[in-house]
Amino acid sequence: MTKVSPSMLSADFSRFGEELARVEASGADWAHLDVMDGMFVPNITFGPPVIKAIRHCSDITFDAHLMIQDPARYIDAFADAGCDMITVHCEATGDIHDAISRIRKRGLVPGISLNPETPVEEIAPFLPEVDLVLVMTVHPGFGGQSFISDCIPKISDIRSWADEENPSLEISVDGGINTDTGKRCVEAGASVLVAGSSLFKLDDMTQTIQYWKGFGPDEE
Ligand code: DX5
Ligand code: ZN
């Protein structure tokens, strides 16, 4: 079954805890938390104190996406805040191997992400060290952008690698995901759909999440 991780970036921030509980009640697998530092991306969102504040609102898996420079500095803070999975970008400054090993040492699930213009080769050195790859299908920084179809072959390339080397690798896609683009990504080999605007615009996201969970890989 495909997993669904709604991006809390599109939630009503004035009711962040309630929105998180709503995501869990809608049958989502994980809650995607977009952390932005105004340096790696031209936007600032929230950090460990806010994540810690909403941790008690739900038991759902916290899927943190760090769009920050030198992420190794903050792994302990995000672990202490209650994150379960932490994904860092291969394009970020600092020692990314160190960041991944800190995530693993805290007993959390490490992930590596790559921007739309970044070739798959750039994440090759990190693939043996992670349990998740987050393929960006928009330029990170803002919700509500259009899906970049050129990224789909990268999903297939990573799935081919995973079939050989690490079949349990989660391949997540993030940016412009809706029913149409999500289905295409799963057919290309994605196992997790991250979606913000397309889910939060719905009064009730339950049925859509359930439908997306039924997407399967292309058998051919
Ligand atoms: C963008 C974030 C995404 C974003 C997705 O930088 O990483 O998680 O919230 O939003 P939509 O689904 O609206 O493209
Ligand atoms: Zn994200």
**Closest Cα to atom 6 of ligand 1:** 140
pLDDT band, very low/low/confident/very high, at 218 (cuts 50, 70, 90):
confident
What is the overall mean pLDDT for the chain?
Answer: 98
Residue 157 CA to ligand 1 centre (angstroms): 22
The DSSP annotation for 14-46 comes to GGHHHHHHHHHHTT-SEEEEEEEBSSSSS-B--
- Residues 15-42 pLDDT 10s: 999 999 999 999 999 999 999 999 999 9
* Cα–Cα distances in angstroms (integers) from residue 220 to residues 65, 185, 189, 217, in the given order: 32, 15, 12, 9
**Residue 181, exposed/middle/buried by CB under 10 A (0-12, 13-18, 19+)?**
buried
- Tell me the CA–centroid distance for residue 136 and ligand 1, in Å: 9
145 lines ligand 1 (CB under 6 A): yes
Catalytic residues, by residue number, are 34, 174
> Is any atom of ligand 1 closer than 6 Å to the C-beta of 32?
yes
Identify which of 91, 98, 108 has the alpha carbon closest to the alpha carbon of residue 41: 91
Q: What is the pLDDT, as a whole number, of residue 128?
A: 98
Measuring CA to CA, which residue among 69, 79, 87, 72 is closest to residue 7?
A: 87
CA 151 from centre of chain = 15
Nearest CA to ligand 1 atom 9: 143
Give residue 137 CA to ligand 1 midpoint distance, Å: 9
Choose one of 8, 45, 142 to mutate for the ligand 1 pocket test, by most ligand atoms within 8 angstroms of C-beta.
142
Ligand 1 centroid to residue 204 C-alpha, Å: 19
Assign 82 to helix, strand or coil: coil
What is the per-residue pLDDT across 106-124, written as a single tens digit (0 to 9) for each? Answer: 999 999 999 999 999 999 9
pLDDT of residue 10: 98
* Residue 147 DSSP class: P
Q: What backbone torsions phi and psi does residue 16 show, to the nearest 5 degrees?
A: -60, -45
Q: According to the model, what pLDDT value does residue 103 have? A: 99
Mean pLDDT of 193-218: 97
| Number of C-beta neighbours around residue 49 at 10 A | 9
With 80 as the cut, is the pLDDT of residue 219 above it? no
Q: How far apart are CA 103 and CA 84, in angstroms?
A: 9
Mean pLDDT of 126-136: 98
